[in-house]
Amino acid sequence: MRGRTTGEEDRERGWARDDGSLVLALSDLIADRDGEVVLFNDSRLPVLTLETDQRPVARGVVEAHVTASGVDVAGYNYVTFGNGLTLYYPRDMQLVLVSERG
């Protein structure tokens, strides 16, 4: 099938790690007007690896919040980075932060 890759090809391209987790770069994420990004886990990924040169300045679990784009993130985990971006992600997903490759 065209457009599909193998796990090995994904690792060679930097999209997946040896443990099979998906790799995204923080710099590739597009935030809403309030600097927020919401990740959904429809694929039920157990682990997401995020490459970044930004340090986390706050982490926790959201009690009650609706983003500027209208997403209710109550109960989601969050991490806020030094550049002001806040990333919300489901509690069933482990987020691994690694240094961005240059």
Per residue in 15-40, pLDDT (tens digit) is 455 666 789 999 999 999 999 999 99
What 3 state SS string does the chain have? CCCCCCHHHHHHHCCECCCCCEEEEHHHCCCCCCCEEECCCCCCCCEEEEEECCCEEEEEECCCCECCCCCECCCCEEEEECCCCEEEECCCCEEEEEECCC
CA 18 to chain centre: 18
Give the predicted TM-score (pTM) of the model: 0.80
| CA 23-25-30 angle, 5° bins | 125
- Residue 22 and residue 7: Cα distance in Å, rounded? 10
Map tokens 């490459």 to a residue.
Answer: 51
Region label for 84, one of left (φ > 0), alpha (ψ between -120 and 50) or beta (otherwise): left
Query: Is residue 12 scored above 80 in pLDDT?
Result: no
Using pLDDT thresholds of 50, 70 and 90, give the confidence band for residue 102.
Answer: low
